[in-house]
Amino acid sequence: MEEILRIEGGHYLDGEVKISGAKNATVALIPAAILANGPVAIVGVPQIADVDNLAAILNELNVMVTKVADDHLIIDPTNMVNRTLDSAAVTKLRASYYFMGALLGKYGYVKMKMPGGCYLGPRPIDLHLKGFEALGAKVVYDKGCYTISAEKLKGNKIFLDIASVGATINIMMAAVYADGRTIIENAAKEPEIIDVATLLNKMGASVKGAGTNVITIDGRDHLMGCFHEIIPDRIEAGTFIIMAAAMAKKVVVKNIIPAHLEALLSKLEEMGVKMDVDVDSVTIYQSDDLKAVDIKTLPYPGFATDLQAPLTTLLTKCQGESEVRETIYPERFKHCLELQRMGANIEVGNGEATIKGPCKLYGDSVSATDLRCGASLVVAGLMADGTTDIHDIYHIERGYAGIDVKLSALGANIKRVVVE
């Protein structure tokens, strides 16, 4: 028995949708909360499977997690115990690696299994480990488990060969209690990094420069509990904007920070999508005769790799030939195989996809091989003639809060169905 998403395509979207808190900020904020010495209240928490898995890890560490409301958690690490993290929850998501930085930062010791998450091609964590080593930690890998330990971490200058989101956040967390000053050069600049730095600073840490490529952390002796509201999810927002560009009569996507979506919005404008951008929302109107565009994924503020898959689906509707170059994860094209099955004219090779359009999509039985592949198939299901059955929706549930509920409210015909 499996629960799938069944979409009957061709229904226009009309109405308003409210975007949830950012998944990729949340999955770092929750581990970061254990660095405090008192309760940390977080609001805007999205209801996604990744949050449930992180809460399960917190339980293993004897951290008290109280759900005050659907989107409001209080994380109290007062009675925390630093245990080996080797449960299934650790391997269910990539972001469990943030417990490395957080536990190392707080206790100078962490032992945990290799993190899991979406397979997008090789996803090494060498830069995280090099960062920990630069702070004076010793890293031992044995039988799928990392042990990272230090007598006392000491601030240092760390240049990241690649501006990695995960390494930047992990090093920031490890450094908040270190002796002296840590400087991360070629740091990643994603908005989620600013959100984590904001939380750490509210706890009493000294993190300066987040959002630029140089972040400076001055170690502190004590961090306290605090209150924090998560920024809106720019990838969920982008996904709904893309769905609206494909199928809207008129859709208002609310609770967004438009500046976080500039690369997407400018591409949609180039395609001919009709929209009005407001302070914290964007309205998308029915847009016909869209034009092909070329995309190159890049670190923020460039075009987000996490929106590449949903946008690729929209490009099947555009007149002409579009080229999509993936520079972050050159193998992140599994969605294209599923889209081909639905009738898309796409060729993939050498970190690039070429989409020839316009091309009608037809409902089929497809599989969400990873989170954003799943999102691209939901876009495809809405656009297609006939019925699309999406399997392996646990990937989608890792990152999109109530996607079926939000789309139904907009007039889509989407439901959860249990099949053999």
287 binds ligand EPU (CB under 6 A): no
Contact (CB, 8 A) for 62 and 79:
yes
Q: Please state the closest distance from residue 55 (CB atom) to ligand EPU, in A.
A: 16
Give the residue, chosen from 20, 53, 156, 305, that forms a contact with ligand EPU under the rule CB under 6 A: 305
306 binds ligand EPU (CB under 6 A): yes
Task: Say how many residues touch ligand EPU, by CB under 6 A.
Answer: 25
Secondary structure of residue 210 in the 3-state scheme: strand
118 binds ligand EPU (CB under 6 A): yes
Q: Please state the closest distance from residue 166 (CB atom) to ligand EPU, in A.
A: 3
What tokens appear for 182 in the block? 């840590």
Q: Segment contacting ligand EPU (CB under 6 A): 2-10, 120-128, 389-397, 401-409?
A: 120-128
Q: Starting at the earlier edge strand, list the strands of the sheet with 206-208.
A: 157-159, 181-185, 214-218, 206-208
Strands (E), 177-270: 181-185, 206-208, 214-218, 227-229, 248-254
Q: Virtual CA dihedral for 6, 2, 45, 372, nearest 10 degrees? A: -60
Q: Segment contacting ligand EPU (CB under 6 A): 103-111, 161-169, 253-261, 386-394?
A: 161-169
Bond before 358 cis per omega within 30 degrees = yes
Active site residue 118: yes
236 binds ligand EPU (CB under 6 A): no
167 binds ligand EPU (CB under 6 A): yes
Give the residue at shortest CB distance from ligand EPU. Answer: 166
Name the residue among 324, 418, 334 with its Cα closest to residue 376.
334
DSSP state of 299: S
349 binds ligand EPU (CB under 6 A): no
Closer CB to ligand EPU, residue 113 or residue 128? 128
Q: Segment contacting ligand EPU (CB under 6 A): 10-18, 116-124, 197-205, 208-216?
A: 116-124
95 binds ligand EPU (CB under 6 A): yes
For the beta carbon of residue 354, count every other beta carbon within 10 angstroms.
17
Residues contacting 51, CB < 8 A, separation 6+ = 26, 27, 30, 45, 73
Site for ligand EPU in 4-43 (CB under 6 A): 24, 27
The Cα 86–Cα 106 span in angstroms is 19
How far, rounded to the nearest angstrom, does the alpha carbon of residue 154 sit from its chain's CA centroid? Answer: 30
Q: Please state the closest distance from residue 368 (CB atom) to ligand EPU, in A.
A: 12
What tokens appear for 136 in the block? 């004076």
247 binds ligand EPU (CB under 6 A): no
Name the residue among 88, 100, 87 with its Cα closest to residue 127.
100
Closer CB to ligand EPU, residue 211 or residue 358? 211
Q: Show which residues are catalytic.
A: 118
Residues near ligand EPU (CB under 6 A) are 24, 27, 94-95, 118, 123-128, 162, 164-167, 188, 235, 305-306, 328-329, 371-372, 399
